[in-house]
Amino acid sequence: ILHHCLVNSNEELQSIVAHTAAATPNLLATCTSLLVHPFIGVHASKIETILIRLGLCHNTVGLALFDSILRQSSGHSDLGFVHSYLGKIHGAASPYTVEILYRLGTTQDDNTQYRVEALLKWLHDCSQWIQPGTSSSSDHSRMMFNTLSSPSPEHVHCVAAILWYSMELPV
């Protein structure tokens, strides 16, 4: 239903629906995790479209979507484990998450600069964790190390493609 409302309605209604849906708790993380589910099938392109529309509706939503895809969730479930599968399938990126990153990174609007800066910050954070002597013994540091020390090659390549695309644009 959300996909239908975001695609098959007038622009004003799409904006209202996108802003309302974006305020739904855990929607971005849930949709992102669905994209890497092995049995998502024909619904993946619809979820991808939903996430792109939501990511473009407001700057904070787009940045939260980047975090949901690129950085490990800091939340724990009731069972006490971290959802480390968000955005990745066994260490590799989902083609859908790569497309979302690319579309959000290359779409020119008032928030493009902030999205590209967030991608650059992610690359910087990954490089900092790879350098020797940056590890720590805290649980949060270990979780961040596991996420940032082994970024998906597909995600890194996607960020490089965004930077290349943006080279001649007013970002």
Structure confidence by residue, pLDDT tens digits, 144-160? 545 566 788 999 999 99
**pTM of the shown model:** 0.80
For residues 83 and 20, the model is more confident at 20
Q: Which secondary-structure segment (H or E) carries 88?
A: strand 88-89
The confidence score (pLDDT) of residue 1 equals 87
64 lies in some domain: yes
Residue type present at position 95: P
- The CA-based diameter of the chain, rounded to the nearest angstrom, is 54
pLDDT of residue 73: 52
Our count of domains for the chain comes to 1
Q: What is the mean pLDDT of residues 52-72?
A: 91
Per-residue pLDDT, 100: 96
Question: Is 147 among the domain residues?
Answer: yes
171 within a domain of the structure (yes/no): no
- Give exposure, 127-136, as e/b (b: 16+ Cβ within 10 Å): eebeeeeeee
Mean pLDDT in residue range 68-78: 61
Residue 72 inside a domain? The answer is yes
Instruction: Supply the pLDDT for residue 39.
Output: 85
Closest CA to 114 of 51, 76, 66, 49: 66
Whether 86 shows a pLDDT value over 70: the answer reads no
Domain that holds residue 70: 2-166
Residues 114-122 have a mean pLDDT of 96
74 domain-assigned:
yes
In a domain, 162, yes or no: yes
